[in-house]
Amino acid sequence: MTRARIAIIGASGYTGAELVRLVTSHPRMEIAALAADRNAGKAMGDVYPSFAHMDLPRLVATDDIDWSGIDLAFCGLPHATAQAVIGGLPRDLKVVDLSADFRLRDAAVYAKWYGHEHHAPELQDEAVYGLPEFYRDALKTTRLAAGTGCFVVTGLMPLLPLCEAGLIDLDDIVIDAKTGITGAGRSAAEWKLFSEVTEGTKAYGIATHRHTAEFDQELSKAAGREVVVSFTPHLLPMNRGILATIYVKGDPEAIQAALAARYAAEPFVQVMPMGEAPTTWSVRGSNMVRIGVTPDRRPGRAIIVSVLDNLVKGASGQAVQCANLMLGFEETEGLMLAPMFP
Amino acid sequence: MTRARIAIIGASGYTGAELVRLVTSHPRMEIAALAADRNAGKAMGDVYPSFAHMDLPRLVATDDIDWSGIDLAFCGLPHATAQAVIGGLPRDLKVVDLSADFRLRDAAVYAKWYGHEHHAPELQDEAVYGLPEFYRDALKTTRLAAGTGCFVVTGLMPLLPLCEAGLIDLDDIVIDAKTGITGAGRSAAEWKLFSEVTEGTKAYGIATHRHTAEFDQELSKAAGREVVVSFTPHLLPMNRGILATIYVKGDPEAIQAALAARYAAEPFVQVMPMGEAPTTWSVRGSNMVRIGVTPDRRPGRAIIVSVLDNLVKGASGQAVQCANLMLGFEETEGLMLAPMFP
Amino acid sequence: MTRARIAIIGASGYTGAELVRLVTSHPRMEIAALAADRNAGKAMGDVYPSFAHMDLPRLVATDDIDWSGIDLAFCGLPHATAQAVIGGLPRDLKVVDLSADFRLRDAAVYAKWYGHEHHAPELQDEAVYGLPEFYRDALKTTRLAAGTGCFVVTGLMPLLPLCEAGLIDLDDIVIDAKTGITGAGRSAAEWKLFSEVTEGTKAYGIATHRHTAEFDQELSKAAGREVVVSFTPHLLPMNRGILATIYVKGDPEAIQAALAARYAAEPFVQVMPMGEAPTTWSVRGSNMVRIGVTPDRRPGRAIIVSVLDNLVKGASGQAVQCANLMLGFEETEGLMLAPMFP
Amino acid sequence: MTRARIAIIGASGYTGAELVRLVTSHPRMEIAALAADRNAGKAMGDVYPSFAHMDLPRLVATDDIDWSGIDLAFCGLPHATAQAVIGGLPRDLKVVDLSADFRLRDAAVYAKWYGHEHHAPELQDEAVYGLPEFYRDALKTTRLAAGTGCFVVTGLMPLLPLCEAGLIDLDDIVIDAKTGITGAGRSAAEWKLFSEVTEGTKAYGIATHRHTAEFDQELSKAAGREVVVSFTPHLLPMNRGILATIYVKGDPEAIQAALAARYAAEPFVQVMPMGEAPTTWSVRGSNMVRIGVTPDRRPGRAIIVSVLDNLVKGASGQAVQCANLMLGFEETEGLMLAPMFP
């Protein structure tokens, strides 16, 4: 069985490192190139000592990659940079982008939330939204997948089926999300220091977080009308995990039943029995999403809790899931990782 | 200047220990007795090595306290136990109870949420709700103050003025709270182990947490009609701090202005400028509450963030604040602690 | 390729859960039975929600396991209990015990450190010390392997070759070890609460920790004379990882060279270049040991740092490594896990 | 009672913020000026939201401080910068410096360890080592105190009396220290990110950490001959606290007795009963040092554990203690803070 040859651009970031972890244990992939412009020339084990014992290609500049013979590239660069780099890649190369650059299909919406014109609008048209549970067929034939926002996938998994089925009031969706800090990446900043984060919490980006636009886009598409959500992220003193607490109006029994039915055959989504709520500990290190529905004490309302590991199902794991589809592999190949607890 | 002689019942719990911390640095209080039935006979420094260098009375059984000459007792026992013990104390002794036993004024409501009849309903009638910013005058003359629930005070501080003034839709209040684990006390349980708590989060007691009844009681009283909130607590991997994210319908400008005006003269409450949100780091170890209001992106809605230290303003600090009023001291005496960060 | 059928006794403890994680991803093993006497009847997913989506046998009492057709049992019970249970297992069943029960070959030494006579001294004779890098051949033929102490394997990996080669002063070995809390297991105790562990550290079991006897036994055997070490463990606010800082007298260059040569071909041991020290982050979730040697500023002394994940190479991973040898598999089968960082 | 007027230079660093916490609750001090060059013009509450409710002077550039009427300045600047700034202050201003600049009395030693010539050697001569328990009389009359290294004070407290009394082998002192991260300050760096620090540990600066020179200086002075220690610091995933485990040769009983006698009258040092070891939790937020002595299992050796809060007794608390002496106040004034646990 031949292996697909994989390049990882932006390998020295956290999503890049997580891709290395996943790809090196994937039975049908092998790493052909690792790119990290600022760290070019270094061994991956110098940038991540956890990989020091592994036989990995040395980091190179993206421009120095020889693309012949490479089947697929993961791109873990920051937004704006990603669109420039991906625009310059060979046209026949399959690409899974993990940035925000190709998630929004409307160039005007992109410009509004990200503050500048999109530099590769033609790729924006071509990109398929990288949520396999909802874009499976399109992902099998696309050459460019747009990795989903980590908060967004956490919220969309329960909300998309409910918007599609008209089971909730589309004008009253509140998403209160809690995240570990790895979603903020590895660049140094005072607010990300251990001394500033441990033993406390805060809300941030209230009503202005960029993932909001992505929520609106996908939920509106599912509902067939405009949906505008309230979304508030919070930073927690932990590395991995997102928990979204979602307040909706609708019949809790119908909601739970619809979700359970929708995801019964999905390998990476588990809907819990009525009244149970999942924890982030239960998904750490894995590609799982777990969803629980509890009736609110006020009739006709439900509280939905959805969890995942932001670096796996929220980023690199989902990217590998997309790549499996794009490469014609089993969708679960290399991704049936048991969560790591404790 | 004579000092009030203080007894602390339940001194080996976390609220008891925090009372010791606060009372020993209070210029007008001195510790006359420390009771902890299971640890009776031990030195406080054996139960809390942080106090090992301090000159403190040895722990005794509550029944062995000589009440003559004691001015006020703090009671940090679990609910149900507290009502039994306080029922047996001298009638002229001032008492600040930190349990849930005297917070609910309606015995039927108590029985519904706590699962048993109240054993001291006459004390229940007598108790004043221990929220000085709203019950200041009554606290000056009562002999029994009922310490407020830690989640409840976090939410009431912003919500009470808004309910009183009719500035928000009373039928659509969502309180999403995040707490450190010290609120759960010092008793050993698997779910409280470091190995089970670090690096993750969960929602718990969804729609059933007992503090809900206390929210309803106080908000209904303020609004002059029944208020039923949605309240969801979450456990965070940290020791101290509660952050409540509150979703309301109302005019954000009017809400922020009303809160700023209401608390302008309150020493322990700070309302932040429009659009700023406080963090739990900013109140750790102090008796402060900080409140921020941000307009939601959906018109006519606001997102309010309220924070405090659950062991101080959420429990022992507020208890000392009540005691100051009951003993005729300056309300701020001994409580102007600077937060400890980092 | 047939898979070995595996039973895990003590599956509801942390080492048991880690075995489930490892065995379910092992290409040549399958779980035939999971035993946990106190949790018998429950689903594994109820005890560890991280496994809730996996198809695992229900927990049973150890006595209810049908041993026919089972090839190997891992036993993750506490010491003393383990020897009783293992004594009652079928004589032809291969067993890897993770407790301290079969580590000490001298019954008198066991009795001294563990406070009671050994109940299965005949098994004690039969057991092979479960350190594959030093007992590989014996492990291939034994039916009982004795899992090593988590601190001990951390220290032995650098010290055994040095004692064998006479490269260090045998009378002056100081092992200062730092560990995460999962080594203390899942049973509830006040000192293990998150609120008691976070944001601080302590030494414990100074000069009396039971792993000391295991150090003495193996180092004396390697040196061919009695070796008595100083060993001090410390508890750190983290879940996984042991870091041992070892102070020895000897030539740093010779020490580093000897270790590098000794482990050049070992898949799970990496000796770092002179002067580099490994971190526990670099081994989390993996079966790796990393060792670094730095010259002390005092001539003729070296400071050795050794790290591993206490639940993997310090317990369950090493147990699987032993099982691979006992079952005739490749020693690395199922164990080439990339560390998980961040 | 008049209050001393205090300036804090470097107020936006962690030691600066801790000084603000301590000085604002000090009954005989008041803050007259806060300087922070890069943050000049900001409110202290913008830099540390924990101070947002307090009435504090706005941050200014050091050069803009009006020194008339200021009694004492604390200087919390980095080394090298501190000597330049302090050299330019009024000659009659009392100064407590918290950097490493005036700790080493020998300019050649300073140059060797810090890599550049000292810029204010005349001040170096004038400075008194800021360890009140050993330099009390000199501190009462000096105008410049040199704050001690945080690791150094942790180790010196037990070691100085033992070196003075000749109770330990001066050629075999091993100091294995564990610290929280706040000692590394607030400047952003990848290695200090929460995501890089949580859930792991490492040794660093093995045999090369600059505090080593300070150990040598003070221990040699106490012993009356050259002492060369082995010192290895470790970073722990916590904010505050240093624990030093010290391995010495000597009679444990004599060691414990000597320390207990030496510190019996010291308000900030507690020597524990034989065989007990202190924890960092027990000193958090306070100015206490706790010391425990345990006999090693090897006769004639002892294991000493010493703990303190690096931001208080390891830095700002000790600086206030020095300032109390320099200003003629009670040494304990404003410093009898109860530790904060949990």
Q: Which of B211, B231, B234, B242 to mutate to test the interface with A (most CBs of A within 10 A)?
A: B234
| Chain C contacts to B (CB-CB under 8 A) | 14, 181-182, 184, 186-190, 192-199, 237-239
Min Cα–Cα distance to chain C from A18, Å? 8
Q: Which two tokens stand for residue C215?
A: 């150090």
Min Cα–Cα distance to chain C from D317, Å? 19
Q: Which of B281, B284, B308 to mutate to test the interface with A (most CBs of A within 10 A)?
A: B281
The residue whose two tokens read 């969890």 is A307
Average pLDDT, chain B: 97
CB contact under 8 A, B270 and D51: no
Average pLDDT over residues B219-239: 98
Average pLDDT, chain C: 97
DSSP letters spanning B144-200: EEEPPPHHHHHHHHHHHHHHHHT-B-TT--EEEEEE-GGGG-SS--GGGBHHHHTT-
Contact A275, A232 (CB under 8 A): no
Sheet with D289-295, edge to edge strand ranges: D202-203, D230-235, D174-179, D242-249, D301-308, D289-295, D269-271
The torsion region of residue D41 among left (phi > 0), alpha (psi -120 to 50) and beta comes to left
Out of C195, C232, C305, closest to residue D303 by CB: C232
- Closest alpha carbon within chain D to C236: D236
Out of D14, D52, D311, closest to residue B270 by CB: D52
Min Cα–Cα distance to chain B from C50, Å? 12
pLDDT at B313 over 80: yes
The residues of B assigned a catalytic role are 150
Helix H or strand E segment including B111 = helix B107-114
pLDDT at B163 over 70: yes
> For C4-148+313-326, which CATH class?
alpha beta
- Closest alpha carbon within chain B to D238: B342
pLDDT at C293 over 90: yes
Give the C-alpha distances (Å, rounded to integers) separating A298 from A176, A242, A248, B273: 18, 26, 11, 33
Q: Which two tokens stand for residue B173?
A: 């209040």
DSSP letters spanning C129-151: E--HHHHHHHHHH-SEEEPPPHH
Q: What pLDDT shows up at residue A300?
A: 98
Q: What pLDDT shows up at residue A171?
A: 97
Q: How confident is the model at residue C2 (pLDDT cuts 50, 70, 90)?
A: confident
Residue A139's Cβ-side half-sphere holds a number of Cα atoms within 13 Å equal to 27
CA–CA dist B282, A76 (Å, integer): 34
CA–CA dist A21, C338 (Å, integer): 6
> What percentage of residues in chain C have a pLDDT greater than 70?
100
CB contact under 8 A, D338 and B48: no
DSSP 3-state assignment of D287? coil
Average pLDDT over residues B105-121: 93
Q: Which two tokens stand for residue C304?
A: 């050795």
Q: Which two tokens stand for residue B114?
A: 């706590």
First to last CA, chain A: 35
CB contact under 8 A, D239 and A194: yes
Q: What does the buried/exposed string (b/e) look like for B138-175 if buried means 16 or more CB atoms within 10 Å of the residue's CB?
A: ebbebbbbbbbbbbbbbbbbbbbbbbbbebbebebbbb
> What percentage of residues in chain A have a pLDDT greater than 90?
99
Return the partners of chain A (3 or more C-beta pairs < 8 Å): B, C, D
CA–CA dist C340, A51 (Å, integer): 10
Out of D17, D198, D341, closest to residue B341 by CB: D17
Q: Which two tokens stand for residue B123?
A: 């004390």
CA–CA dist C283, C261 (Å, integer): 21
Q: What pLDDT shows up at residue D289?
A: 98
Average pLDDT over residues A148-153: 98
CB contact under 8 A, C188 and B193: yes
Number of CB atoms found within 10 A of residue B6's CB? 27
Q: How many CB pairs lie under 8 A apart between chains B and D?
A: 88
Contact D69, D32 (CB under 8 A): yes
Average pLDDT over residues D211-240: 97
Q: Which residues of D touch A238 (CB under 8 A)?
A: 198
Contact A218, D214 (CB under 8 A): no
Strands D94-97 and D144-146: parallel
CB contact under 8 A, D280 and C201: yes
Q: What pLDDT shows up at residue A76?
A: 96
Return the partners of chain D (3 or more C-beta pairs < 8 Å): A, B, C
Residue B286's Cβ-side half-sphere holds a number of Cα atoms within 13 Å equal to 29
CA–CA dist B126, B118 (Å, integer): 14
Q: What pLDDT shows up at residue A2?
A: 87
Min Cα–Cα distance to chain B from A308, Å? 11
CATH architecture of C150-309: 2-Layer Sandwich (3.30)
Q: What pLDDT shows up at residue B2?
A: 87
Cβ neighbours of residue A224 closer than 8 Å, sequence gap 6 or more: none
Min Cα–Cα distance to chain D from B155, Å? 20
Q: Which residues of B touch C239 (CB under 8 A)?
A: 194-195, 198-199
Q: Where are the alpha helices (DSSP H) in A264-337?
A: 317-326
Strands D230-235 and D242-249: unpaired
Strands B301-308 and B289-295: antiparallel
What's A297's DSSP letter?
S
pLDDT at B1 over 70: no
Contact D317, D269 (CB under 8 A): no
Out of C194, C199, C238, closest to residue B193 by CB: C194
Q: What pLDDT shows up at residue D2?
A: 87
pLDDT at A1 over 70: no
pLDDT for D21-76, tens place per residue? 999 999 999 999 999 999 999 999 999 999 999 999 999 999 999 999 999 999 99
User: Structural domain boundaries of chain C?
Assistant: 4-148+313-326, 150-309
pLDDT for A49-103, tens place per residue? 999 999 999 999 999 999 999 999 999 999 999 999 999 999 999 999 999 999 9
Give the C-alpha distances (Å, rounded to integers) separating B105 from B111, C102, D77: 11, 62, 56
pLDDT at B233 over 80: yes
Q: Which two tokens stand for residue B281?
A: 């780091």
Q: Which of D196, D199, D248 to mutate to test the interface with C (most CBs of C within 10 A)?
A: D199
CB contact under 8 A, B237 and A241: no
Average pLDDT, chain D: 97
| Chain B contacts to D (CB-CB under 8 A) | 14, 17, 20-21, 24-25, 48-54, 182, 198-199, 239-240, 270, 272, 278-279, 281-286, 288, 290, 311, 336-342
Min Cα–Cα distance to chain A from D287, Å? 20
pLDDT at C245 over 70: yes
Out of A182, A195, A199, closest to residue D195 by CB: A182
Q: Where are the alpha helices (DSSP H) in C54-198?
A: 81-87, 107-114, 121-126, 132-141, 150-165, 194-197
Q: What pLDDT shows up at residue C1?
A: 67
Strands A242-249 and A174-179: antiparallel
CB contact under 8 A, C50 and A21: no
pLDDT for B38-97, tens place per residue? 999 999 999 999 999 999 999 999 999 999 999 999 999 999 999 999 999 999 999 999
Q: Which two tokens stand for residue D96?
A: 């407590």
